[in-house]
Structure 1
Amino acid sequence: MRSIFLAGIATGQASFETEATLPQCWDDFTRSKHPESITVIHDDMGRIAAWGALAPTSTRYCYRGVAEVQLYVAPESRGHGLGARILADLIRFSETYCLWTLQAVVFPENRPSIQLFEAHGFRQVGYREKIAQMNGEWRDTLLFERRSPHIK
């Protein structure tokens, strides 16, 4: 999972992170996620080809049903529908565990991610101009969200 995250960082289009900040310990990694939401897909060699998870956006009770999507696909596995499979699993999880809103933050230049989220019912709800710096350069982000049609 760490190597896939690092490959995403290397593209400059997946995260503001510039180094792998994933904890070495599985317990530490899952502590910041809905642990049951962590989804992986293995390739034919048994290696992790894609992974995703949902992370609570806040510890406040009123936001208990809101989670951020984290989704990464290994470079050699991109373009084969793995991201769509992971995202579909995360949406199913969110419906099962009564999460009413899923959020995703995407760089405007990351067209494949934008298309993936839009294809799964996410809509752009925000544009954040110069929200943070990456390697000394200000970057914008788009905020996408999917509201559950089942949880009122």
Structure 2
Amino acid sequence: METTIKIAYFTQEDWPEISSIYKEGIDTGTATFETQVPTWKAWDISHVKSCRIKAISKNTIAGWAALSPTSKREVYKGVAEVSIYITSKCRGLGIGKLLLSKLIEESEKAGFWTLQAGIFRNNKASIDLHTSLGFREIGYREKVAKLNDIWYDNILLERRSKIII
């Protein structure tokens, strides 16, 4: 039986499920340099309000995606960084591609012309997801930060809008 995935905006009421999925990502050790889930207030302040979406499967949040500004400077108002997390129970089902496709669409509606992603070199699934939707590798940061006393490289990807030129 095929499962229907619904994409919708998320709000503070969804934070318990969203933060639980974020915690799963933190626990993998390959999704983020964060070691603790922030409070809703801290997360809310640091992310773009118009580009926060969730994937719902069987009445449960299966994943989420959001944007955060890369700079407070006016000239960079159309550049944002992508966050995307899928619950371990739903990885490999195409939910990431649905979410990231919708996030790209929503970002362009909101006036973003460039999306960026910094992905651990060993997170091949995330790199493949992003490149499948038009992100290109623009470089890397070698041993940019430590996590659990291990240095990690971060692959830098970006996607330039073909709509906002």
Same topology, TM > 0.5: yes
Aligned to 2:84: 71
The answer to whether structure 1 residue 42 and structure 2 residue 18 are counterparts is: no
2:75 maps to 1:62 = yes
Letter in 2 for 1:24: W
SS in 1 for 2:106: helix
For residues 124-150 of structure 1, the C-alpha deviation after alignment (integer angstroms, 9 at most, x for no partner) is 001100101111111110000000112
> Could you state the TM-score of these two structures normalised by the residue count of structure 1?
0.93
**How many aligned residue pairs are there?**
148
Q: In the aligned structure 2, how far is the partner of 1:53 from the partner of 1:142?
A: 19
**Counterpart-to-counterpart distance in 1, 2:110 and 2:57:** 28
SS at match of 1:121: coil
Partner of 2:141: 128
For residues 78-97 of structure 1, what are the structure 2 equivalents within 5 Å? 78-97=91-110
Deviation at 1:24, TM superposition (A): 3.5
Stretch of structure 1 that moved more, 56-65 or 11-20: 11-20
CA RMSD of aligned residues (A): 1.1
Question: Deviation above 2 Å: which 4+ runs of structure 1?
Answer: 28-31
1:18 is the counterpart of 2:1: no
Aligned residue number for residue 30 of structure 1: 44
- Give the alignment's TM-score, normalised by structure 2: 0.86
Over the matched positions of the two proteins, sequence identity in percent amounts to 43
Paired residues of 2:53 and 2:64 also in contact (CA < 8 A):
yes
**What pairs with 1:84-123 in structure 2 (closer than 5 Å)?**
84-123=97-136
